[in-house]
Amino acid sequence: MRDFAVDCADELTKLRDEVAATGVAGALGVIVRLALPKGQAVLDLSGKFGAAAEDAVALLRAARPLAARLGVSFHVGSQCLIRSPGGARWRWWARWLVPLA
């Protein structure tokens, strides 16, 4: 397993330390899980999963030297009531992520 999702600095530190301790060379993939506003989901999981905007930007920057593959992900929510929630949520995140490019 070489791809991992993180949503806080402690998880990234633990991942870095565990990978270093194994001595196993290889390309590491790090996916920063983004927190999203509840939107129209029935259950509000926004406080349970994902990094807040400011934290996610810092995590992406910290993960870059460790990761051969770097990405982002998010959970649209449980029992989402709109057909295509991704577009609006990606636009919400674009204001934070675009300056990193």
The mean pLDDT of the chain is 76
- Computed from CA positions of residues 39, 40, 46, 49, in that sequence, does the dihedral angle turn out positive or negative? negative
pTM of the model: 0.72
Angle of helix 86-97 versus helix 53-63 axis, rounded to 10: 70
pLDDT in tens, 20-33: 888 665 678 999 98
- Concatenating the DSSP letter of every residue in 52-81 gives -HHHHHHHHHHHTTT-SEEEEEE---EEE-
The rounded distance, in Å, linking the Cα atoms of 46 and 34 is 9
Cβ(49)–Cβ(5) under 8 Å? no
